[in-house]
Copies of this chain bind each other. A is one copy, B any other.
Amino acid sequence: MTSRSQYRQLADTLRAAIVRGDYPPGSQLTSEPELAEQYGVSRPTVNRALAILSNEGLVRPERGRGTFIHELPVMARAAVQRYARPEREADGQARGAFDGEVRRLGFEPRSELIEVGPVVAPGDVAEALHLGAEDVALIRKRHMYASDVPVQLATSYVPWTIAGGTRLTEADTGPGGTYSRLAELGHPVARFTERVTVRTPSPEEEDFLRLTEEQKVFSIFHLAFDQDGRPVEVTVHTLPTHQWVLDYAWPIDPS
């Protein structure tokens, strides 16, 4: 192919160099003007090549500073195991599942509770939880980090008729987390569904996850049903696609 564009060729070259390890993770890439001269192309062409690598999550350009090699490897989210009881109760905290996922890779997990309290849930959440236009839900919004790098955003909703006045409205939900409290409240969770989509991040997600508008995120709409088949909890997870893989497992004919 004579006609692979220059910016793609340059992107390929630089990608190979990064993967090969010529630039260690976290280090600074050669500046755009220098690359332009080295490879005999114009600066906009270099910029376009770097935009590709940026969208792939391989580098992080920062205006005024330079372009840096992204450091975090890919993490795996095990959708099924993470909701099993042993995993949740591992260290007496609700964040057991995320902790394991991150620690397994040698990083230090951290969660911040950003918001907790009664709210009117967004349309799709309200619909899933069978909430009317007036009904209120408990929101629990968390920011999650791996070694201080933001990696995930999770927002949970529980109908206020269930959660109101319980420990679910407190910062620390106690051993086993939300699902253990729901069980104590007469709503033991029996079944989950998840819907996975890929989309561009919202401005808020861009900001927290340090993404550009061209990068993509997984949006996971997680719904829990109790033994009576009543939907009792929704969590919306947002994860950069270049940072995560999703694992699922199930028996045939689960019925």
Binding site for B on A (CB under 8 A): 8, 52, 55-56, 76, 79-80, 83-85, 189-198, 200, 213-214, 216, 218, 241-242, 245-254
Contact = CB atoms under 8 A, between A and B. Distances in A.
Copies of this chain assembled into the complex: 2
Contact of A250 (B192, B196, B200): B192
Chain B CB within 10 Å, residue with most, of A79, A85, A198, A214: A198
Contacts of A198: 198, 216, 218, 241-242
Given A80-B254, A253-B84, A254-B80, A196 B196 contact: yes
A252 B216 contact: no
23 contacts: A8-B213, A52-B214, A80-B250, A80-B254, A83-B252, A84-B253, A85-B253, A190-B252, A191-B249, A191-B251, A192-B248, A192-B252, A194-B247, A194-B249, A195-B247, A196-B196, A196-B247, A197-B245, A198-B198, A198-B241, A248-B248, A249-B254, A251-B254
A195 B55 contact: no
Ordered nearest first, which 10 A-B pairs have the shortest CB separation?
A198-B241, A196-B246, A193-B249, A250-B250, A194-B248, A197-B245, A248-B248, A191-B251, A195-B247, A84-B253
A41 to B, nearest CB: 16
Nearest to A11: B213
Contacts of A253: 84-85
B213 A241 contact: no
A80 B251 CA distance: 9
A249 B254 CA distance: 9
Contacts of A251: 190-192, 254
